[in-house]
């Protein structure tokens, strides 16, 4: 973690940073968050992350804590204060502090918290070598399009993955179709070279990385389709991968007990991963 955290207008040492016990984020998970990655001093897809943050806030009628311009400046300032050129910035906005009562309080000031972390993104073992994933029932609520801090089902599923020696869990709906990962979007590559990922209208998070990968896939003339796929389809797919801001394009080499292909990252996945790395590193995503 970066040494300095930002809490409601103050920079404090990370170990001292705190919010009130009646903050509604703490009491009710009444808040939203974003995670943006910084590579060589540039925030990747910053505008898309800020767009999604604004949408999450608006869907929950939480007052934006600052203007977009100020928020952007604060993010960059915190990264600079912590000396992070390669890493991530975490932003959390809660509805604010109010006497405990389920209904949204009126006229409450939102709480803004930000932290940073240094990460050597492009040399992470999982990203380079791929991961095993497990499948597990999706226990979440019906508004997964909102990036809410209410992540308990995701935590349960990720713990299951860890205990099974897997890097991620893919959650599965009542029709046996994969919704998404606990903190990533899920993709497969079919035997006729088509990329498949679930449509974002189907109650999953509109991943920023997912959106960029679709643009890059179009540019690379790769065919893709947005539709749900079953666990069985995933297990018999040519390749599979997960995408997120922090995990980039992470190859999936095993699903439950089924090894995909020869158990190594697939060529299709590696091509898309390579193109995405280039997109990030070449600052195509700079403002
Ligand atoms: C549930 C879920 N799906 C998908 C994603 C990927 O989104 P992004 O590409 O914007 O990081 C995340 C990221 O945290 C997530 O939590």
Q: Is 207 in the pocket of ligand 1 (CB under 6 A)?
A: yes
Asked whether 196 and 225 are in contact (CB, 8 A), the reply is yes
Q: What is the pLDDT of residues 30-68, one digit of tens each?
A: 999 999 999 999 999 999 999 999 999 999 999 999 999
- CA 159 → CA 139, 163, 186, 204, distances in Å? 14, 6, 18, 20
Q: What distance in angstroms lies between residue 266's CA and the mean position of ligand 1's atoms?
A: 22
Q: What distance in angstroms lies between residue 49's CA and the mean position of ligand 1's atoms?
A: 11
Asked whether 24 and 31 are in contact (CB, 8 A), the reply is yes
Compute the average pLDDT of residues 93-102.
Answer: 98
Band of residue 285 on the pLDDT scale cut at 50, 70, 90 = low
Band of residue 283 on the pLDDT scale cut at 50, 70, 90 = low
Has residue 222 got a pLDDT over 50? yes
How many angstroms separate the first and last alpha carbons of the chain?
Answer: 26
Q: In this structure, which residue's CA is closest to atom 14 in ligand 1?
A: 183
- Where are the chain's structural domains? 4-119, 125-281
% of the chain exceeding 90 in pLDDT: 94
Compute the average pLDDT of residues 75-83.
Answer: 97
Band of residue 203 on the pLDDT scale cut at 50, 70, 90 = confident
Has residue 191 got a pLDDT over 50? yes
Q: Is 185 in the pocket of ligand 1 (CB under 6 A)?
A: yes
Has residue 212 got a pLDDT over 80? yes
% of the chain exceeding 70 in pLDDT: 98
What is the predicted pLDDT for the residue at 28? 98
Q: In this structure, which residue's CA is closest to atom 13 in ligand 1?
A: 183
Domain 125-281: what homologous superfamily?
D-amino Acid Aminotransferase, subunit A, domain 2 (3.20.10.10)
Rounded Cα gap, residues 193 and 191, in angstroms: 5
Atom of ligand 1 nearest to the CA of 211: 9
The residues near 150 (Cβ < 8 Å, ≥ 6 apart) are 29, 141
Rounded Cα gap, residues 121 and 137, in angstroms: 30
Has residue 255 got a pLDDT over 80? yes
Are both 4-119 and 125-281 of the same fold?
no
What is the predicted pLDDT for the residue at 74? 98
Report helix, strand or coil for 286.
Answer: coil
Has residue 70 got a pLDDT over 80? yes
Atom of ligand 1 nearest to the CA of 45: 10
Rounded Cα gap, residues 119 and 249, in angstroms: 16
Rounded Cα gap, residues 270 and 245, in angstroms: 17
Compute the average pLDDT of residues 260-282.
Answer: 95
Write out the catalytic residue numbers.
147
The residues near 284 (Cβ < 8 Å, ≥ 6 apart) are 278
Asked whether 4 and 12 are in contact (CB, 8 A), the reply is yes
What is the predicted pLDDT for the residue at 286? 52
Strands 223-226 and 239-244: unpaired
Mutate which of 33, 36, 143, 185 for ligand 1 pocket (most atoms within 8 A of beta carbon): 185
Q: What distance in angstroms lies between residue 127's CA and the mean position of ligand 1's atoms?
A: 16
Rounded Cα gap, residues 49 and 118, in angstroms: 19
What is the predicted pLDDT for the residue at 1? 77
Q: Is 158 in the pocket of ligand 1 (CB under 6 A)?
A: no
Asked whether 131 and 251 are in contact (CB, 8 A), the reply is yes
Asked whether 37 and 121 are in contact (CB, 8 A), the reply is yes
Q: What is the CATH number of domain 4-119?
A: 3.30.470.10
The residues near 15 (Cβ < 8 Å, ≥ 6 apart) are none
Report helix, strand or coil for 155.
Answer: helix
Q: What distance in angstroms lies between residue 105's CA and the mean position of ligand 1's atoms?
A: 29
Has residue 284 got a pLDDT over 70? no
Compute the average pLDDT of residues 143-163.
Answer: 98
């Amino acid at each position: 973690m970066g040494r300095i955290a930002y809490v409601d207008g103050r920079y404090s040492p990370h170990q001292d940073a705190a919010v009130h016990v009646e903050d509604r984020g703490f009491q009710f998970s009444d808040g939203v968050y974003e995670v943006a990655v910084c590579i060589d001093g540039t925030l990747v897809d910053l505008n898309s992350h800020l767009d999604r943050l604004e949408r999450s806030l608006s869907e929950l009628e939480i007052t934006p804590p600052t203007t977009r311009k100020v928020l952007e400046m604060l993010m960059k300032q915190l990264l600079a204060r912590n000396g992070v050129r390669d890493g991530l910035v975490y932003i959390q906005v809660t509805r604010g502090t109010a006497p405990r009562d389920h209904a949204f309080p009126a006229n409450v000031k939102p709480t803004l918290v930000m932290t940073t972390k240094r990460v050597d993104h492009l040399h992470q073992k999982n990203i380079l070598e791929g991961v095993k994933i497990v499948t597990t029932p999706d226990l979440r609520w019906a508004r997964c399009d909102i990036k809410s801090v209410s992540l308990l089902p995701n935590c349960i599923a990720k713990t299951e993955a860890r205990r099974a020696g897997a890097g991620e869990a893919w959650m599965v709906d009542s029709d046996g179709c994969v919704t998404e990962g606990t903190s990533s979007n899920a993709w497969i590559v079919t035997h006729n070279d088509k990329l498949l990922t679930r449509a974002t209208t189907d109650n999953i998070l509109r991943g920023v990385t997912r959106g960029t990968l679709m643009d890059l896939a179009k540019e690379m003339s790769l065919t893709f389709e947005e539709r749900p796929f079953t666990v069985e389809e995933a297990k018999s797919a040519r390749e599979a991968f997960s995408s997120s801001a922090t995990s980039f394009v992470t190859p999936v080499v095993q699903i439950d007990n089924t090894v995909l292909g020869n158990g190594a990252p697939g060529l299709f996945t590696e091509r898309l991963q390579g193109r995405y790395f280039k997109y990030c590193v070449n600052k195509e995503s700079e403002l």
